[in-house]
Amino acid sequence: MKSKVLCLALGMCVLFVLVGCGPSSPTPVGPTPTVVKPTCAGAALVVPFHSAPAPLSVIGSLTPTLSWTYPDAACAPEGFVLHIEMGPLYTPALGETLGNVYSWTPAASLQPGKVYRWWFSAVSGGTIGPQSTYRVFFTGPICTAAQMTAPVLFEPTNGSTVNNPSILIAKWDSIGGCIPTGYQLQLATDPAFTNIVETDDFPVAMNRAVWEDPNLFIDCTRYYWHVAQKVDDAVGPFSETWTYRVDLNGTCASEPPASVNGVVWNDDNQDSIRQAGESGRPGVVVNLGTGDCPSFVFTQTATTVADGSYAFNGLVPGKYCMEIDPLADISVGHFTLGVSGKEGRAYRAVEVGPGAMLTGQDFGWYQIPPVGAQIKLKINAYCHGGPALWFPSPAFGVTGMSYPIVGISPDMLWYYVQFNETQRCWFAKDTGDTSGALGSLPPGPTPVPTPITDCSKYSSQGTCEADVACRWVSAAVRTPNCTNK
């Protein structure tokens, strides 16, 4: 028993020696003092690290907060230089010099459905330290399968020549305002994609591809590529098709250029077939754009000559869209090519290979015979559904265009016109100059009552623009007034 007590006493004594004999000191009360680190010398700056958002994450906010850390525990930099830029070209970069802070939120909203990368460096005494790595994030929302749109291609430039395919980078972008979950890229040796040599599925929405296998490409060969969005396993519509040619040493024989030609003729019987006696139509502008129809960017134009013919020469192989806008012609008529799929226009989609001479790309035009009376617009004007401003305006006439008048309102202030081959509507008398006999015109049809607002009842700009059916006409144009859109 004594030995046990002795051991216990010795143990307690050792404990007192370790913690200090006697009563314990009271715990200090109050805030912990802030440790102020000295400023890092410029030459001593090190690489900072990203914190958030996580790599390749989809951000719900268009004003996300980016944060980072500085690993040196002994000193702190004076501040940081931060850069952020949008893909696929990642230029120009938004650069901003910050103080000794470790987060940043953009003052202006980023764009939805895009890819961004950001990086930064510490700075002290005018010296910028080593740059961090890049980190990529995406702005949402995430697309549904029904929201997928065709991407827009950026690089390599359509029709270009590539001399080092081992570092070839393809770039594209989404324009639908949402981000897919990935992309699919197809590479082929023909524009119809019957000989696909590569299909790449990307599990994230990075809008670029880097080919690191030079054996994929054969020298002196032309390749065609297009890209589609993916949402999980669903594949959306493909982009237009672009092409490039591989010439490793600049020694490949030149490809023979392609050409496309046709005729714009007066299709007098509207059968879409040119018969003897149906003359060509000179002075018509034909637009040419690359890729599938409809094309929104035209790279060449050709004007029909005396016999109505036109030609595009020196074309590189690929897909093209030819389009004529009848609104550029002040005559009244319509194309007989068939439904164009684009209101007021006619177009043809064609595909040419090296040396191809594509003929017969014709456009028939039917000229509506003139009638006894016409109105030629002297201003751009709405054509209304009834003889008053408060009727809806289903059509819009351009200065200089003429329309057959087929009726007149009882007060003779509105003309009922044949706007096109399927549509009739009303122009106000003061929108144009008339020709022909007006006295024998029948009255126009009795308009169907409509709930469209009479915007003239509004006397102030505020009350006018509050009504979605109305627009305010400023004093720079005429006496300020409220009228229908």
- Say what the pLDDT of residue 145 is: 96
Q: How far is CA 415 from the centre of its chain?
A: 40
Residue 91 structure tokens: 């230029």
Segments of the chain scoring below 70 in pLDDT? 1-35, 214, 296, 326-332, 338-345, 368-371, 448-452, 468, 475-478
Residue 437 DSSP symbol: -
Helix (H, G, I), strand (E, B) or coil at 415: strand
Report the alpha-carbon distance of residue 477 to residue 228 in Å, rounded. 47
Domains, the chain: 42-139 (2.60.40.10), 145-246 (2.60.40.10), 258-367 (2.60.40.10), 374-484 (no CATH)
Q: What is the side-by-side strand order in the sheet with 49-52?
A: 49-52, 66-69, 103-104
Q: Cis peptide leading into 28, omega within 30 of 0?
A: no
pLDDT score, position 3: 35
What does the block give as tokens for 367? 């000229």
What pLDDT does 279 receive?
Answer: 92
Question: How far is CA 194 from each of CA 187, 189, 299, 382, 395, rounded to the nearest angstrom?
Answer: 10, 8, 27, 48, 43
The contacts of residue 314 (CB under 8 Å, 6+ apart) are: 257, 259
**Token pair belonging to 225:** 């590529």
Question: Is residue 239 a contact partner of residue 180, using CB atoms and an 8 Å limit?
Answer: no
pLDDT of residue 293: 79
Q: What is the pLDDT of residue 359?
A: 92
What per-residue confidence (pLDDT) applies to 18? 33
Quote the CA–CA distance of 460 and 95 in Å, as a whole number. Answer: 45
Q: What is the pLDDT of residue 34?
A: 59
Distances 187 to 116, 191, 199, 227 between C-alpha atoms, Å? 26, 10, 6, 9
Q: Whole-model pTM above 0.75?
A: no
| CA separation for the pair 17, 184 (Å, rounded) | 73
Please tell me the predicted confidence (pLDDT) of residue 341.
Answer: 52
pLDDT at 324 (0 to 100):
86
